[in-house]
Structure 1
Amino acid sequence: MNRWRLSPQQQNCGFKKAARKPDGVHEPAPRDLRPKDPPGPSDLVLKEPAPLRRPWPSGPYRDFRQLLKPLVFTVGFSGCSFGGAALWQYESLKSRVQSYFDQVQADWLDRLRPKKRGDLRREMNQWWNSLSEGQRTVTGIIALNVLVFCCWRIPSLQRTMIQYFTADPASKTRCLPMLFSSFSHISFFHLAANMYVLWSFSSSAVSMFGREQFVAVYLSAGVVSSFFSFVSKIASGRFGPSLGASGAIMSVLAAVCTQSPESKLAIIFLPMFTFSAGNALKAIMALDTAGLILGWKFFDHAAHLGGALFGAWYVLFGHELIWKNREPFVKLWHDFRTRGGGGGGGGAGAV
């Protein structure tokens, strides 16, 4: 999460180099060296007035109008995430019975199939079935993060990766990177640490929210944490690109700790020391608040703090305001599906 002190706007505010004169065009000689005879037409140089240049800004460049589009994108994308999750849950419930019978049939056919020693497909299926629902849910998220990490290693994609997979309010592309940057890591240690924490809390989070709601919370948290980062950068004038899934993961961690504050946690390298989830959340948020106030630059503390606040808010208030009020939207979708099926059936009967 390295930061650049100067934004592209600030870098473009300096004086530009003088344009190079084309070959064959000469400046008029100084007055004391000019010949007495008047110069010919080929010796004259026509000049346009110099364009007005903006002086170098004396302080940080702050323009809070840059937050308008990111704010609209954050609200709109979060709403679409929860709306899509509600429809996903509706369709999953409809197809669950059919999936159950398909699984029974597949298991029956698998027993009749001759066993092969070292069958990779069978071993993969056994491993997949041994995972919890939360671990299976975050496997796709981890795979996307690994894919983006590999794309950073391709030199021809560097420009695209910087433009779309790093979040910076000073960039011309602001909205999509708010989401894509939450799947982006350059350092392998950064990727491994984030994915380990996500894997560790996946079972608790998915059992608490359900698969569909968890995905909506995770995606929304990634965009919300990027928006908090934008606000901090514009307010402080410290522009620079940020990337990583830490903001979204902090939201998952905060949601679990808020829901079960008495749960015991431990550090991987110090398993003998345990502490409550509530105290761990308070310590992490206090550390990020101190880093935000003191201007620590190693981590994007604003994104971490924004993700944690969003996760805690969603458990305390957001679930009641958003997810439990999804029934009217799902009913509209159900009526649309029913009318579509009824219309098709009526047409077939008439024919």
Structure 2
Amino acid sequence: MRESNLPLLIKAFLSNTHVTIAQQWLNSNDGKRAAYVICAMNAGIWLLWKVPRLRPSMQRHFLHDPLSGRWHTLVTSVFSHNSFMHMAVNNIALVGFASTTSHWMVVSESRVAPTLPESTTLYHFIAFYLSAGAFASLVSHVFSARFIWPRLVGKSLMKTTRRVLPGLGASGAVYACLGLTAMAFPTGEVSLLFLPFTMHVSTAFLGLVAFDAIGAVTAWRLGLDHVAHLGGAAFGYLYWKYGMQYWWVPWRDAAQVVADELLEEELKELEDEEKTKEGKQVEFGPAVEEKEDATRRTSSGKGNGEK
């Protein structure tokens, strides 16, 4: 009996799993759906790191070294993680804050352009995430190239404890989502990992920023890119303050211009159709009158014959 019921149990398990995943996907907003896709990409790239033959290529294209001269890794390194725990923490935080970030985009767009809202915030969130990750990587790059590297090659070579290390991870982009959420919804409750209590998201954000600021100044050897974290936090704050007008207002104006042009074309087509109809009426008017006269003569002739 157990062997015969085993396929049914497997089918039921797969069916329930499919329904659960589909329901979770349907109940999520655009930002959270984008976060799920990004998490899947992070997991795929993390698995590629485990292939020994691919490691040289992964180090060239998914690890940002400020001294390498490669710029595309400012973005590609955002999807790369050095350990499963590193990836898991970033993915969990991203899924949590992506939903609130996307909700803020919807609310802000309704205020900036109430008559012309976006149909979806998916592309807006993806652009925000990639820009935040690249900005955080760039801040870390500039700090390493302009401050750490000169000290390493200068007279204080033996005194400094810093090193120019390659960077990777989505922490900068996640910090941007956290910073925007903290500014937009400061009284929202959030629970940090490994802490048994909740706190306001604004309090957690300020605490993490203070922690990273101290780490950036004192050069803690914790394996964290504190400068990239601060860059992501700054990007989130600046985007909350000024981002919407730079993202949506130009697109709104461009969309309004296109809408006006389309309206003018439609009005012109209607005018041309009306003129065409009037021309046909003028052209066929005399012929219709002659036909009516002939019909009257015929009918009058028949009437006289009958009499």
TM range (shorter): 0.5 to 0.7
Which of residues 117, 121, 133 is equivalent to 1:222?
133
Which deviations, in whole Å up to 9, do the C-alpha atoms of 1:28-82 show, x marking residues without a partner?
A: xxxxxxxxxxxxxxxxxxxxxxxxxxxxxxxxxxxxxxxxxxxxxxxxxxxxxxx
In the other structure, the counterpart of 1:291 is 215
Which of residues 231, 249, 252 is equivalent to 2:177?
252
In the other structure, the counterpart of 1:200 is 96
Q: Distance in 2 between matches of 1:277 and 1:191?
A: 22
Q: Distance in 1 between matches of 2:201 and 2:230?
A: 16
Q: For residue 191 of structure 1, what is the amino acid of its counterpart?
A: M
Which of residues 192, 205, 214 is equivalent to 1:281?
205
Task: Please state whether the residue corresponding to 2:72 is helix, strand or coil.
Answer: helix
Which deviations, in whole Å up to 9, do the C-alpha atoms of 1:233-275 show, x marking residues without a partner?
A: 111123221100000000000000011112222234334x222
Q: TM-score w.r.t. structure 1 length?
A: 0.58
Q: Between Structure 1 and Structure 2, whose CA radius of gyration is higher?
A: 2
Q: Distance in 1 between matches of 2:133 and 2:261?
A: 31
Please give the residue correspondences for 1:39-54 in structure 2 after superposition, counting only pairs within 5 Å.
Answer: none
Task: Please state whether the residue corresponding to 1:166 is helix, strand or coil.
Answer: coil
Q: Rate the CA distance shift 1:278–1:123 in 2: closer, same or farther, 3 A.
A: closer
In the other structure, the counterpart of 2:148 is 236
In the other structure, the counterpart of 1:322 is 247
Please give the residue correspondences for 1:119-198 in structure 2 after superposition, counting only pairs within 5 Å.
Answer: 119=15, 124-173=21-70, 175-198=71-94
Which deviations, in whole Å up to 9, do the C-alpha atoms of 1:169-222 show, x marking residues without a partner?
A: 10032x110000000012000000100111111221111114232221111001
Match status 1:302 vs 2:227: yes
- Identity over aligned pairs, percent: 32
Q: For residue 208 of structure 2, what is the amino acid of its counterpart?
A: I
Q: Distance in 2 between matches of 1:129 and 1:204?
A: 16
Q: Rate the CA distance shift 1:122–1:289 in 2: closer, same or farther, 3 A.
A: closer
How many residues of Structure 1 are paired with residues of Structure 2 in the alignment? 226
Q: Distance in 2 between matches of 1:332 and 1:208?
A: 26
Q: Rate the CA distance shift 1:296–1:330 in 2: closer, same or farther, 3 A.
A: farther
Greater shift, 317-326 or 277-286, is seen at 317-326
Structure having the larger proportion of residues in helix: 2
Q: Distance in 2 between matches of 1:155 and 1:321?
A: 44
Task: Please state whether the residue corresponding to 1:241 is helix, strand or coil.
Answer: coil
Q: Rate the CA distance shift 1:124–1:172 in 2: closer, same or farther, 3 A.
A: same
In the other structure, the counterpart of 1:313 is 238
Q: Rate the CA distance shift 1:304–1:338 in 2: closer, same or farther, 3 A.
A: farther
Q: Distance in 2 between matches of 1:268 and 1:333?
A: 48
Q: Rate the CA distance shift 1:152–1:321 in 2: closer, same or farther, 3 A.
A: same
Q: For residue 46 of structure 2, what is the amino acid of its counterpart?
A: F
Which deviations, in whole Å up to 9, do the C-alpha atoms of 1:92-118 show, x marking residues without a partner?
A: xxxxxxxxxxxxxxxxxxxxxxxx966
Q: For residue 169 of structure 1, what is the amino acid of its counterpart?
A: P
Q: Rate the CA distance shift 1:330–1:267 in 2: closer, same or farther, 3 A.
A: same
Higher RCO (CA < 8 A, seq sep 6+): 1
Preserved contact between residue 182 and residue 205 of structure 2 (Cα < 8 Å): yes
Preserved contact between residue 133 and residue 173 of structure 2 (Cα < 8 Å): yes
Q: Distance in 2 between matches of 1:333 and 1:144?
A: 36
Query: What RMSD over aligned residues (CA atoms) do the two structures have, in Å?
Result: 2.9
Q: Distance in 1 between matches of 2:49 and 2:35?
A: 22
Preserved contact between residue 129 and residue 173 of structure 2 (Cα < 8 Å): yes
In the other structure, the counterpart of 1:104 is none
Preserved contact between residue 189 and residue 199 of structure 2 (Cα < 8 Å): yes
Q: TM-score w.r.t. structure 2 length?
A: 0.66
- Cα deviation, residue 303, structure 1: 0.5
Query: Please, which runs of 5 or more residues in structure 2 have no aligned partner?
Result: 1-10, 107-120, 150-162, 265-307
Q: Rate the CA distance shift 1:286–1:121 in 2: closer, same or farther, 3 A.
A: closer
